[in-house]
Amino acid sequence: MSILSLFRKKPDSITINDEMGTFILQNPLKDKLYDGEIKWLGREVSVSLYCDNGDSPSADIALENLRKIVAESADWDKKLRQCAVEYAAGEDGFVEIWGKTADFPPITTEEFLCRISLGFLYVYPNGEIYFDYDLDEMFADHGLGIYANISGEILSVGLMG
């Protein structure tokens, strides 16, 4: 094997096996995310654990933050859904929805809550978490992004995509 071929060789991925799931860093030389899936209130949710250039200690901290979030998932879900309603509903308590080709009549907050679901989340070692909610095409192809911190403070909310 030539030296040049050694430099072209893709490094082996790094895997974290945890009781919640398996998280894989595909390319340790350039990637900063361990990707995997977990159960969140009975549903599969994609998760990315952020790390500093494959740095194991920062990935371990992100994983510990994920454990805290999952342990309190029912409380988090309630808080995040309330945040979504506050963001999307008008003063009349209805949510104005719009699609790619037509506008639709407003729906109740209860209908809105039945249609949204957590799609994925990013967990950072600094204690920040990004929750991405699938909005069931109620706002064309946009999702709802909610940034929070591990202590439960909502940092920002907005449509993404």
- pLDDT at residue number 6: 52
Phi, psi of 71 (to 5 degrees): -60, -25
User: pLDDT for 46-96, tens place per residue?
Assistant: 999 998 765 678 889 999 999 999 999 999 999 999 999 999 999 998 998
* CA–CA separation, 160 and 146 (whole Å): 10
CA distances to 46, 58, 70, 114, 150 from 40, in Å: 10, 23, 7, 16, 16
Instruction: Give the residue ranges of DSSP H helices in the chain.
Output: 3-8, 56-71, 73-88, 109-115
Whether the pTM exceeds 0.75: the reply is: yes
Asked whether the beta carbons of 138 and 123 are under 8 A apart, the reply is no
Structure tokens at 95: 């949510």
